[in-house]
Structure 1
Amino acid sequence: MPTNRSQALWERAQRVIPGGVNSPVRAMKSVGLNPPFIRRAQGCYIKDADGNRYIDYVGSWGPMILGHAQPDVIEAIKAAAEKGTSYGAPTEAEVILAEELCRWVPSLEMVRLVSSGTEATMSALRLARGFTGRELIVKFDGCYHGHGDGLLVSAGSGLATLGLPACPGVPAAVAGLTLSLPYNDLAAAEALFAARGAEIAAVIVEPVAGNMGVVLPVEGFLAGLRRLCDAHGALLIFDEVITGFRVGPGGAQELFGVMPDLTTLGKIIGGGLPMGAYGGKAQIMAHIAPEGPVYQAGTLSGNPLATAAGLATLEFLAGKAVYPRLEELGAMLYNGLEGLFAAKGLACFGQRVGSMMCFFFQPGPVTNYEQAKQSDTELFSRYYRLMLARGIYFAPSQFEATFVSLAHDAAAIDQTLSAVADALKEL
């Protein structure tokens, strides 16, 4: 729990940083705490400014699939840094990373590197509009695609955590170009396309929602979106910023066998450093400048440090036993938690894909944002505080995912489950 040093840093931070944090959910407002300030991380552990150690299931919100300070990644970053930290010019490493992304992700023929997942989704939508000559974008309630103006309509993540229905500063004219539908409601999408299909440039969707808690696509939902887009000349965009390289080597599109026209990536592909990418069919990507008229640029795009970290991460993930091990560890934690909650008699509904999972504090089922919002957030807050006090660092929000890394082992998971069992005695 945050104590003297973290509290002092928290007070200083609030004087110079809005809300004391540089990304809203970190403030821990929804769970009634002031945040611990993290000093260092190693493997599956993080340590705060007061020396308290926690088993970490946030993993920097997803990127740390290998664990913190993984030796191969650190060595790659050091080697790259010794040659210079940024050039603003092409490098061989970014070509290799682009080739690797196209090799791993089934729908990618060409890819453009950027510096964040938000930048990737904003750029993909501009490209979709430029390619189709249309303006409307369709998204789904509770899906978060970054903080671009047109994407904060019925968004998840921090807006869900803080209970914000909308964002001031987004012009109504911009918001009006985004149409939001219930997640997993293919009938609603069919009705919208029947009415306005000729105006729709693209549908953007998290193939596994990870920003209203973890919500799986129902049978036929993703394939139905693919058919609708094909029938009406719209592009299908999969936001795989979270699921890319997390739910499997080829992402959710490989897992579910549905190929989008464009894919956005982030988190894992930077190995813990700022990195994003968007890509897809060559004929669409050819519309990006300097080859085409759709402009997008970035001073630090393809940054050599982030590129090196990403390549080292992908090289490690290429090991034959990696994804089976992640599945094993994810199942170990999930099954243990499910059993403990059931034994306590708690109304908890869980969902898991590989090494990402979530338990909603309600009986379920949860297939969309409206159902997710029925969760008992006060009960979750009490649970969260009890767990943090026992050295377990989950995401401080009912509406975020829990991530397991390769650095977690049976001992860490057993320690976690023992802490949960102890905490449930007080819940």
Structure 2
Amino acid sequence: MKSYGSSEELFLRAKKVVPGGVHSPVRSFRSVGGTPVFFQAAKGPLLTDVSGKEYLDYCLSFGPLLLGHRDPEVEEVVRETASLAWSFGAAEPYSLELAEWIVSRIPWVEKIRFVNSGTEAVMSALRVARAATGRNKILKFDGCYHGHLDSLLVKAGSGLAGEASSDSAGIGSELIGNTLVLPLDDESAVAELFAREGKNIAVLVIEPLPANYGLLVQRKEFLQKIVEIARSHGALVLFDEVISGFRVGLRGMSGELGIRPDLVTYGKIIGGGFPVGAYAGRADLLDLVAPQGPVYQAGTLSASPFGMRAGLATLVKCERENVYSVLEERTKRLTDGLLAIFRKYDPDSDWSVTAHSSLFWFHRSTPSPIRTVDSIPNGHKEAFANVFHLLLTEGIYLAPSGYEVGFTSLAHTSEILEKTFDLAEKAFKKNKV
């Protein structure tokens, strides 16, 4: 491997030419402190940093690597693709194969359009919803993240229910004036807002499994009720399954809940680790998209042959090998084992874990399940940062933020889990000396 120097040296260089030294904020380690680790290689469950040190990876590029890094079957397809083409900017058969595979397995996906990211997918789906309804307003929820689109990078304001305020500099009030924000887990607030604004709301958008501000598992009854309320007022329902789609199961959270959204967005796994997003749903809604309809959306690099072929290879293997039940069992084993170690060496902190399928999130114990941002215990950020660095030192890599979730993959075998427990035990023992 090429010699790059240390992570510290690279970070100093990066800060001179890149904002904050990184190309996405969470990579900076600002939430946990310290210097970000610069990685140069990955394979299976392992990351290798620029100094040659290996880490067991439970971030997995924030979710898409359901099979682990460079799964042999997927890598073979990627290598073959590199010998065929890198990009077309034209029609090709690979996106058709992936589209047909997805449409044939998910009843509410009647048509699908591939884009390059989750943000782009949500942006496009919202445009379709506005065109279909002739309405302008959007309802979103605190604790759900839908990408860095101006109209959705907002939080609840301090005034009347539903008001929003910018969650980023550079977003003017005119850009968020049509965005309404409510807390999660509150059906009555949704009912009250629709009673007042229902005729103006084009779409209710929500992560059915919020996984960007901790893992805020929602009650099925809440999700069913808000969908019912939205539809009773003529609004569309958009499920953002960029993270949960094809990770919690072949049909995502929509399938698990038995709720058929009008529109759904995907990303992460459908690209097999390559940059891919998609918006999909009812055929009559997708037929509004150009060139068939009046809703314009385009992308020169959309449906990259690498993402299309790697994504299909990933999904085919997931279906064939019943990956989801395997990962659910491994995730439970991982979280139970780590939780026992946390509590053994840090008994006063009363650690707990929320897990769903192959996603997990460690946090302080609370009297009831954490379903809203306001329910996250005080001091969580600092407590997580301490644990993060303890584990990092011994070679366990978690997402560098207490508000990001962790993931397991098919590459996290029983042997890897045992190694994880050994390293975690070692880390906490050292801290007690």
TM category (shorter chain) comes to over 0.9
1:81-105 deviation digits (Å, cap 9, x = unpaired): 2122111111111111111121233
- The Cα of 1:422 is off from its aligned counterpart by 3.4
Q: How does 1:16-415 map to 2 (within 5 A)?
A: 16-154=17-155, 166-343=167-344, 344-345=346-347, 346-363=349-366, 365=368, 366-372=370-376, 374-415=378-419
- The Cα of 1:206 is off from its aligned counterpart by 0.6
Identical pairs, percent: 42
- The Cα of 1:28 is off from its aligned counterpart by 0.4
Give the conservation status (yes or no) of the 8 Å contact 1:330–1:404. yes
Amino acid in structure 2 at the alignment position of 1:321: N
TM norm structure 2: 0.93
Amino acid in structure 1 at the alignment position of 2:376: A
Distance 1:384 1:123, change over 3 A: same
Amino acid in structure 1 at the alignment position of 2:356: V
- The Cα of 1:403 is off from its aligned counterpart by 0.3
- The Cα of 1:4 is off from its aligned counterpart by 5.4
Give the conservation status (yes or no) of the 8 Å contact 1:38–1:47. yes
Give the conservation status (yes or no) of the 8 Å contact 1:26–1:396. yes
Q: CA separation in 2, counterparts of 1:329 and 1:107?
A: 30
1:360-409 deviation digits (Å, cap 9, x = unpaired): 23535311011126352111111111110010000111111100000001
Give the conservation status (yes or no) of the 8 Å contact 1:137–1:177. yes
Give the conservation status (yes or no) of the 8 Å contact 1:106–1:254. no
- Structure 2 residue ranges without an equivalent (≥5): 157-164
User: What SS does structure 2 have at the residue aligned with 1:287?
Assistant: coil
Partner of 1:160: none
User: What SS does structure 1 have at the residue aligned with 2:69?
Assistant: coil
Amino acid in structure 2 at the alignment position of 1:82: S
Q: CA separation in 2, counterparts of 1:10 and 1:99?
A: 43
TM norm structure 1: 0.94
User: What SS does structure 2 have at the residue aligned with 1:154?
Assistant: strand
1:215-268 deviation digits (Å, cap 9, x = unpaired): 111140111122012101101110000001110111001111111110000000
Q: CA separation in 1, counterparts of 2:297 and 2:154?
A: 23
User: What SS does structure 2 have at the residue aligned with 1:146?
Assistant: coil
Report the more deviating stretch, 332-341 or 381-390.
332-341
Pick the aligned partner of 1:419 from 409, 418, 423: 423
Partner of 2:10: 9
Amino acid in structure 2 at the alignment position of 1:191: E
- Structure 1 residue ranges without an equivalent (≥5): 156-163
Give the conservation status (yes or no) of the 8 Å contact 1:116–1:276. yes
- The size of the alignment, in residue pairs, is 417
Q: CA separation in 2, counterparts of 1:269 and 1:321?
A: 16
Q: CA separation in 1, counterparts of 2:144 and 2:426?
A: 34
Report the more deviating stretch, 75-84 or 134-143.
75-84
- The Cα of 1:165 is off from its aligned counterpart by 7.2
Q: CA separation in 2, counterparts of 1:317 and 1:338?
A: 28
Distance 1:265 1:61, change over 3 A: same
- The Cα of 1:354 is off from its aligned counterpart by 0.9
- The Cα of 1:127 is off from its aligned counterpart by 0.7
User: What SS does structure 1 have at the residue aligned with 2:81?
Assistant: helix
Q: CA separation in 2, counterparts of 1:403 and 1:373?
A: 22
User: What SS does structure 1 have at the residue aligned with 2:31?
Assistant: helix
- The Cα of 1:424 is off from its aligned counterpart by 3.5
Q: CA separation in 2, counterparts of 1:134 and 1:220?
A: 27
Q: CA separation in 2, counterparts of 1:256 and 1:219?
A: 7
Give the conservation status (yes or no) of the 8 Å contact 2:122–2:240. yes
Distance 1:364 1:40, change over 3 A: farther
- The Cα of 1:174 is off from its aligned counterpart by 1.2
Partner of 1:161: none
Give the conservation status (yes or no) of the 8 Å contact 1:348–1:364. no
Give the conservation status (yes or no) of the 8 Å contact 1:362–1:375. no
